Structure formats: structure tokens, C-alpha cells
Amino acid sequence: MSEHKPVPQQPEPAAEPKPKPKTVTLSFEEHQRLLDQAHKAEQYIRQLADLENTKKRVQREKEEFTRYAADTVVRQLLPIVDSLGQALVAVDKQSNPDAVIKGVHLIYRQLLGVLEKEGVKRIATVGERFDPSRHEAVGQVDATGKQADGTVAEEVQVGYMMHGKVLRPAMVRVAKHAAADTADASQQETS
């Protein structure tokens, strides 16, 4: 049999005595200065929390605004959709063609009215000087009569602006005198 010898236990080291808290004597001014610093730190933390809360609130409001921004316009479009539905019913019933045509014109005017309320306007084209910031040239045509070079002769597609900003440029054909073409060509040949 093997004998187990007891392992002598080592005594635990004595715990170090805890230092006694030091007593600091402050003057009244130093005490006030420390209180003021603590107060300022607390105010700073509150202001940071207020700033974070404001950021979160603004973000929520922005998201809500974005979600419902079209609400007003959509509400104005609903009666027009209803009118289109009625026009389609009339077409399906093969109603009087003149009444259907008048109805479609009325719906078109309603739609333009809604767009106008929202600040949307047609871009002026025919007879206007070509402006690349508002017009997109899709071709040239021979100028007729007193039409000046560089004026819009035809509108291919209507353009729209909203509060001064181009939503879609007008597609146009621009007038050009044939004599100007031959003068340019002969000038290039002599150069």
C-alpha cells in the first residue's frame, strides 16, 4: 500500500491592510469650482442626449414625410382616375362618340389642373429660341418665311418644369435656313 503523506498547507498571506481614505480639505472656492465643473459636465451630458433625441426625431419625421409626400397629389388624382374609369365604361357600352371625346378632354383638363396646382408648367417651344437647358433637339427642319435660325419649329414631345426646374425637356426640331447651310459649306471649301 502506498502511503499518502499529507501536504502541508501553506498559510494564506495576510491581507494587506486597506488604506484609509484620505481626508482632503478644500477651501470654499475649490469646493464651489468642483461643484460648478460637475454641474457643467451634467449639462453637457444632457445636451448630448437632447441632440441624439433630436437627430432621431428628425430622422423619423423625414421618413414619415417621404412616405406621405405624394399624399396630396394622389388625393387630387383619384377623381381623375374615377373619371377615366367612367370614360372606359362609356367606351365599353359604345356610347355616343362625341360624349366620350368630350369626357376625355375634360379628364385631360382635370389632370393639367392638378399639375398646375403643384407648380408644373409646360415648357414653351414653337417660335421660341432653342435653349438646350429646356429643349432637346431631335432634328432640324428647313426654316420657312421669317423663321430665324435656331428657333424651335416643331414640338415632338411636350416638356415640363416644376418650380423653375426642368422635369423633362421638350423634344423639338430646330429651324435652319438652307442658305446658311450652303454658305457654311462654301466657306469650309475655301478654307
187 pLDDT higher than 60: no
Angle at 139 between CA 138 and CA 140, to 5 degrees: 150
Q: What is the pLDDT of residues 110-141, one digit of tens each?
A: 888 888 888 899 999 998 999 999 999 999 99
Residue 152: closest CA among 178, 133, 181, 129: 129
pLDDT of res. 145: 79
Q: What is the pLDDT of residues 40-93, one digit of tens each?
A: 999 999 999 999 999 999 999 998 887 777 777 777 888 888 888 888 887 778
Confidence label for 26 from pLDDT (cuts 50, 70 and 90): confident
The whole model's pTM is what?
0.55
Is residue 90 a contact partner of residue 99, using CB atoms and an 8 Å limit? yes
149 pLDDT higher than 80: yes
121-186: CATH number:
2.30.22.10
pLDDT of res. 2: 54
Is residue 139 a contact partner of residue 103, using CB atoms and an 8 Å limit? no
Is residue 114 a contact partner of residue 79, using CB atoms and an 8 Å limit? no
Taking residues 93-120, report their average pLDDT.
Answer: 85
More confident residue, 95 or 106: 106
pLDDT over 70 for what percent of the chain?
85
Confidence label for 188 from pLDDT (cuts 50, 70 and 90): low
Taking residues 169-183, report their average pLDDT.
Answer: 78
100 HSE (CA, 13 A, CB side): 12
